[in-house]
Amino acid sequence: MTATTGSIGLTARPHPREAAFSIALLAAALVVLVTLGAILLILFQAGYQAFARYGIQFIWSGAWDPPRELYGALPAIIGTLSSSFLAILIAWPVGFGIAYFLTEYCPRPLRGPLGVAIELLAAIPSIVYGMWGFFVLAPFMASTVQPWLTETFAFLPPITNADESAGFYWFSAPAVGVGLLTASIVLAIMILPFIAAATRDVLLSTPTLLKDGGYAMGATRWETMTGIVIPAVRGSLFGAVLLGLGRALGETMAVTFVIGNANRVPDSFFAPAASIASVVANEFPDAEQGSIKLAVLFALGFLLFVVSFVVLAFARLLLRQGRMA
Amino acid sequence: MTTGGSTSATSSGPSGAEPGVRPALQPGRTARINRSKYLRRKSTDAIMGGLCTFAAVLGLVFLALILFTLLSKGLRGMSLDLFIHKTMTPGNHGGLANAIVGTLMQVAIGAVIGTPLGIAIGVWLAEIGRNGRLASIVRFVNDILLSAPSVLIGLFVYQVIVKPTGNFSALAGGIALALIAMPVIARTTEDIIRLVPDAYREGSVALGARPSTTILQVVLPAASGGILTGVLLAVARIAGETAPLIVTSLGNLNWNFDLMRATASLPMTIYRYASSPYKEWVDLGWAGALLITFGVLALNIASRVTMYYRARGRRA
Amino acid sequence: MFHVNTRMLLKGARVLAISAVAATTVAGIAAADDITGAGSSFAAPIYTKWAEQSGAQGGAKLNYQSVGSGAGQTQIINRTVDFGASDAAVSADRLEANHLLQFPTCVGAVVIAVNLPGVDGSKLKLTGDIVADMYMGKIRMWNDKRIKAINPGLKLPALAVAPAYRADSSGTTSIFTDYLGKVSPSFKDTVGVGTSVSWKAGVGAPGNAGVAGAVTNTKGALGYVEYAYATENHMQVAMLSNHNGKFVAPSSASFAAAAAGADYTADPNMAVNMNDTAGDGNWPIVGATYVLLPTNPTDTARSASVMKFFDWSFKNGKPAADQLHYIMLPEKVYDMIRSRWSKVESNGKPVYTAAK
């Protein structure tokens, strides 16, 4: 059946209108490829000056000194990756829980509305998340959550180098409200619907036969989930998480509000940090045409695009594989 | 295939499943031990179920918290003035009218450019490209664009439009939004068109219709409701975008209808106002946030409800 | 039924297209005498206030975007706006190369807001050196002996110091870091001076208000903001020791005292530095804010409108300035600026001549 209809465009008589029609559609499809290529090319070309000047070390240099025109991508890269990974650590269990609840426990009539309600979290504009994070969540973190965490985890020994000039102090830091952890929590809420929806789709696509086998052998719902379903769809579940990660990496406005915007490698979970996207949003207005700073920002953008490209490509691959099986 | 998958899955699963199974089959032999094991298994299941229910509640709580914050802070600045007056300095009863119009302008440009492109891409993927190699590449790249960081799309448009024209403009902002809307529309269009039964196409071809006629007059009309849903979702997505507009349309305190000049937008104005020192502006900023969030949520819900009813109508 | 839907879709698209076209035509008329400026957020409150008052009296409509001083410079160099506004003076050769005229418009002050529970912030005394060390992470606690030594009457809590700074590049940062660089050589060496610097401690928040918000939200925080922002938010602002070693509180009087001694004639481009000036009553962190205007305007009507607008503001802008705690420049400086406007030419003729 697929073959019959699939040949519509191919076996068409060479009528000029038909040719024009399919060429127009093909041109539209090529716009997609051209757009991606052009974005990569333009970002690289505009950022080339930065790579040329600082060399490849630009990527792991920790310097960020605008007055002396010394720039390195490391703090922004670490900030981007750590805030996104922390967000995943928070959002993944919750997102999985939501998906599990929606597929196994939720009363049928509630499934639709509940699923939509969770997905609505994804529709809220990111600027609103930023405002909420800065004006509501951050003060609460500073007054309640952070002091509690500091006290509870005081036993964790700091990891420092020999002369204690650098290290990681876990939760022992002033409770400022904004910072790495707060940014991760806001990000976690933002990517939660993506992870939950993708996980739910994966769980729903698991053949019922598989689950029935588990139940028939007397396994509980949870045992069937962990013993049968999860091993069977492991790849796709990982794809769902990566999809969320891809979202978190490029998030801009919300992160700019709550990450604390410090171009330094964070030395605790409360430390202010910066992400590539937040650096671009903060510094772009000040970057003059033709300046090295503008090139640095484009170079950062290029790096971000490459990282998200790889993560998203992986996610799609895993999710698609799951769908085929 | 399925059977093979299931056996390998069972054997590769945690061995805990195995001993749990056997006693259930032979209830008489070791009843005391099994009972405690059974209770443990039962309680693990209940605890996990409880935790997952809690996760779902947590998600709803976040949604409720954010909406509550918006309502409690946003209703203060909400008034008719918001829609009538343009942005003004504090103390002058300004509104957000020019920002609302600016957002409508830019979203309209985004939709006008992004919709036909997105639909054409979706149609090509579903009807012509299908499972070919080029189609799978286009589909994959489209998925990448779908989740590409929007601030980078803004940087790209800055470099190819703002810089050469020497002007921040509504057009540049609109084009950035179009590039964000395009993959969303392409994706939903393809998904929806693939749901159109092949019998429709066969009927059309049997009547001697050319492929273009089949697509334009049979397939697209059949899928129009779903495509409209996709367009609405895309509009909802781009209406709230802020980051790409910072680098493309800049903002404007006054009315502007010139597509080639800097233009205000609601998200940008909210950004500036909410972080301003003036109470009046802060209130307006939150009111704007309330407005745009509920607008976007309404679009989302409307599109889902239409989709739901159409799906139900078709089933019936 | 399906057909109806496609038609509706098409109709919708057509309506959008038509309204877009209609919008373009209306624009040609409406935008004719509008002027656009962008830059300094420090000066944004006063410029927008002036614009509103002059607009009410029939002046040109101004669209001022407070995008930051650096962005203001960038945009006027790219000619994407009619004038740029910057708190940091632009160097002579850059002005020359880009055909720009620079003139100051008014003076504002930066103050240090603090959040110390149980302590009256307005009674707190700080020195530039101490503030510099806080922003370098060298003074970490509020009960540090150096702070205690100059505040014998205050009970300072054992609270961590949480400095807040501007995340976006800003003229306020430029004025503030210039001051700290003057009083603390090590600050100048490690952090640097400019619109966006290499901070060693503290958190960055977006905008003046972001800093204000961070200070209000955080116990033990201090942050630098433009004075109007501190008063608007009823924040507690600390006293600072000035060049003469006297502790002064921020007020219009102490700002005016610092601004009074400035010599605008020394520099050919009227750049002045008013940080850390000598005088018992001088507030130490004060800066002029500048406007950048192309000397070879492409649109002479709009260029003339810009000068006309500032001409009006120099004559009538004092009440607004007083209200927002900005200091107007001496009348003779404004006269000097008016005469310098003749440098803005088109075909060898001045674009605008100020009425006497």
C233 near B CB under 8 A: yes
The reported pLDDT for the residue numbered B81 is 84
Query: In this model, does residue C169 exceed pLDDT 50?
Result: yes
Domain limits at C152? Answer: 110-259
Tell me how far apart the alpha carbons of residues A323 and B175 are, in angstroms, rounded to a whole number: 34
> What's the mean per-residue pLDDT of chain C?
86
Closest CA to C313 of C337, C346, C294, C339: C337
Could you tell me which residue, B12 or A31, shows the higher pLDDT?
Answer: A31
The reported pLDDT for the residue numbered A13 is 53
Per-residue pLDDT band for C60 (boundaries 50, 70, 90) equals confident
Best interface-test mutation with C: which of A176, A181, A270, A296 has the largest number of C CBs within 10 A? A176
Identify the domain boundary among C213, C239, C259: C259
Domain tally for chain C? 2
Per-residue pLDDT band for C334 (boundaries 50, 70, 90) equals very high
Contact B45 A18 (CB under 8 A): no
Q: What is the pLDDT of residues B196-210, one digit of tens each?
A: 999 999 999 999 998
Residues with Cβ within 8 Å of residue C7, at least 6 apart in sequence: none
Q: What is the pLDDT of residues A156-172, one digit of tens each?
A: 888 888 777 778 888 98
Query: Is residue C214 domain-shared with residue C338, that is, in the same domain?
Result: no
| Ranges A6-20, B75-89, C18-32, C107-121: which has the least confidence | C18-32
Q: Is residue C273 part of a domain?
A: no
Q: Is residue C355 part of a domain?
A: no
Q: What is the pLDDT of residues C70-104, one digit of tens each?
A: 888 888 888 878 999 999 888 899 999 999 999 99
Query: Is residue C317 domain-shared with residue C306, that is, in the same domain?
Result: yes
Q: Is residue C81 part of a domain?
A: yes
The fraction of chain B above a pLDDT of 70, given in percent, is 86
Q: Which positions of chain A have pLDDT values less than 70?
A: 1-14, 322-325
Which chain A residue is nearest to residue B162, measuring alpha carbons?
A289
The reported pLDDT for the residue numbered A323 is 55
Contact A104 B151 (CB under 8 A): no
Are the beta carbons of B231 and B245 closer than 8 angstroms?
no
> What's the mean per-residue pLDDT of chain B?
85
Per-residue pLDDT band for C161 (boundaries 50, 70, 90) equals very high
Per-residue pLDDT band for B32 (boundaries 50, 70, 90) equals low
Q: Is residue C18 part of a domain?
A: yes
Query: Is residue C38 domain-shared with residue C149, that is, in the same domain?
Result: no
Could you tell me which residue, C325 or A285, shows the higher pLDDT?
Answer: C325
| Cβ-based neighbour number of residue B155 at 10 Å | 32
Best interface-test mutation with B: which of C8, C35, C36 has the largest number of B CBs within 10 A? C36
Best interface-test mutation with C: which of A70, A178, A257 has the largest number of C CBs within 10 A? A178
Tell me how far apart the alpha carbons of residues A68 and C334 are, in angstroms, rounded to a whole number: 35
Per-residue pLDDT band for C16 (boundaries 50, 70, 90) equals very low
The fraction of chain B above a pLDDT of 90, given in percent, is 57
Q: What is the pLDDT of residues C305-314, one digit of tens each?
A: 999 999 999 9
Distances (CA, A) of A275 to A55, A314, C332: 21, 22, 49
The dihedral through the CA atoms of C296, C297, C298, C304 has a sign that is negative
The pLDDT of C193-200, averaged and rounded, is: 90
Tell me how far apart the alpha carbons of residues C94 and A58 are, in angstroms, rounded to a whole number: 28
Which chain A residue is nearest to residue C200, measuring alpha carbons?
A264
Tell me how far apart the alpha carbons of residues A96 and A237 are, in angstroms, rounded to a whole number: 9
The reported pLDDT for the residue numbered C44 is 86
The amino acid occupying position A192 is L
Which chain A residue is nearest to residue C67, measuring alpha carbons?
A285
The fraction of chain C above a pLDDT of 70, given in percent, is 90
Q: What is the pLDDT of residues C271-291, one digit of tens each?
A: 999 999 999 999 999 999 999
In this prediction the pTM is: 0.87
Identify the domain boundary among C221, C239, C259: C259
Query: Is residue C208 domain-shared with residue C296, that is, in the same domain?
Result: no
Query: Is residue C134 domain-shared with residue C148, that is, in the same domain?
Result: yes
The reported pLDDT for the residue numbered B8 is 36
C67 near B CB under 8 A: yes
The β-bridge relationship of strands C125-126 and C239-241 is parallel
Domain architecture of chain B: domains with CATH: 94-315 (1.10.3720.10)
The pLDDT of B63-88, averaged and rounded, is: 90
Query: Is residue C231 domain-shared with residue C297, that is, in the same domain?
Result: no
The reported pLDDT for the residue numbered B265 is 94
Q: What is the pLDDT of residues B169-188, one digit of tens each?
A: 999 999 999 999 999 999 99
Tell me how far apart the alpha carbons of residues C251 and C274 are, in angstroms, rounded to a whole number: 16
Query: In this model, does residue B312 exceed pLDDT 80?
Result: no
Query: Is residue C120 domain-shared with residue C50, that is, in the same domain?
Result: no
Tell me how far apart the alpha carbons of residues C191 and C135 are, in angstroms, rounded to a whole number: 9
Contact B105 C20 (CB under 8 A): yes
Query: In this model, does residue B24 exceed pLDDT 70?
Result: no
Distances (CA, A) of C243 to B134, B173, C183, C240: 72, 49, 9, 10
Query: Is residue C197 domain-shared with residue C155, that is, in the same domain?
Result: yes
Per-residue pLDDT band for B90 (boundaries 50, 70, 90) equals low
C148 token code pair: 């205690």
Query: Is residue C176 domain-shared with residue C296, that is, in the same domain?
Result: no
| Ranges B301-315, C304-318, C342-356: which has the least confidence | B301-315
C169 near A CB under 8 A: yes
Domain architecture of chain A: domains with CATH: 51-324 (1.10.3720.10)
Phi, psi of C125 (to 5 degrees): -110, 135
Query: Is residue C249 domain-shared with residue C118, that is, in the same domain?
Result: yes
**CATH number of the domain that residue C22 is part of:** 3.40.190.10
Query: Is residue C97 domain-shared with residue C206, that is, in the same domain?
Result: no
C218 near A CB under 8 A: yes
A256 near C CB under 8 A: yes
Query: Is residue C208 domain-shared with residue C336, that is, in the same domain?
Result: no
